[in-house]
Amino acid sequence: MLKSLVNRYTGERLLLSDQTPGERSLWLLKRRIRAFDRLIQDKGLTVSFLTITQSDDLLDNSRWITSVMEKIKKAIEKMGGKMYYLAVLEAQPKRYQKYGVIAFHWHLAVACSSPGLLPHGRRLENGHVQKEREGLVITWDWLYKNIRQKFGKYFVCDSYSHNVFDYLGKYLAKGDPLLELIRSTGKKVRIFSSSRFPVEYQMSGDQKREYQEIILAEPEAGDLYWRCEGSRILGRGKEIVEHVWQTFVFRKIIYPKVYSISGAWIIDQLPPSEESGVSSERS
């Protein structure tokens, strides 16, 4: 039986076979960018755009970009600020085929609680960077020391728009070539990365209504660990399980699922009678 996606509100059906792995990844990424935009607008955050060219000798480290952004986050939080980020990976398959150089580019939107925490530069027509302002916390020298890598480069500038989707959207159409390039090189590289946003900004309108109904009926559910996992919103509890062996007591913390709010699209099995006649639309 074929698997399909069914919209549990409208009944619309979409065959999974109509979506490539790249398209499914981009669908999840679009949801994350929309949540990031809502977070920025609601909290009035200041946005900077950061571009990092990742060296080929670091490509086997799939969590490299996460570690870099964690350093920036800790530096800003140490000064009493807040920082969230979202990163999208871009590749150049033609360059790799011609020169054997991958030259992955990370395009990042970095949202801070105060303006000017990151430096500002301007890219000139010859490709060089003109440094126009130091950052109050993250300086050009700080970036050089903490992102320094063989043949790696970086560039950062202030954003003139709070709509991050406009900036990152142009890199979303390269999902399948990017996945194919990663497979051909045998590297373990993330396609996108982000901070953990507050869950309320990742909910759809219908999910938010269901969440509010749960909290209204069971107020103690508000104390659960709510987070987005895939397209679902899960509420997890916290338990300590003890195992006794001879005179030793081992304790393990687990987070069992208590509530699950499904996304608009859920996986369903297509009945055999409908497999040949269903009409599907590509998202």
* Residue 104 · residue 91 · CB < 8 Å: yes
How many other CB atoms are found less than 10 A from the CB of residue 148?
Answer: 10
**Residues contacting 184, CB < 8 A, separation 6+:** none
Whole-angstrom CA distances from 26 to 103, 130, 182, 262 are 21, 33, 16, 19
Give residue 280's pLDDT band: very low, low, confident or very high (50, 70, 90): very low
State yes or no: pLDDT of 6 exceeds 60: yes
User: How do residues 90-101 score in pLDDT, each as one tens digit?
Assistant: 766 666 667 666
Q: Name the residue with tokens 């807040």.
A: 82
Q: How many Å apart are CA 11 and CA 4, to the nearest integer?
A: 12
* Residue 235 · residue 224 · CB < 8 Å: yes
Task: Please compute the mean of the pLDDT values over residues 99-108 and round it to a whole number.
Answer: 75
* Residue 153 · residue 56 · CB < 8 Å: no
Q: How many Å apart are CA 68 and CA 110, to the nearest integer?
A: 12
Tokens of 56: 């080929």
User: How do residues 28-73 score in pLDDT, each as one tens digit?
Assistant: 778 888 888 889 989 999 999 998 877 766 555 557 788 889 999 9
Domain boundaries defined on the chain? 19-197, 205-263
pLDDT at 30: 80
State yes or no: pLDDT of 161 exceeds 80: no
Tokens of 262: 């499904």
* Residue 5 · residue 230 · CB < 8 Å: no
User: How do residues 178-234 score in pLDDT, each as one tens digit?
Assistant: 666 667 667 666 677 888 888 888 888 889 999 999 999 999 999 999 988 877 899
User: How do residues 111-131 score in pLDDT, each as one tens digit?
Assistant: 999 999 999 998 888 777 788
**What are all long-range contacts of 272-277, with beta carbons under 8 Å and residues at least 24 apart?**
272/1, 275/1, 275/2
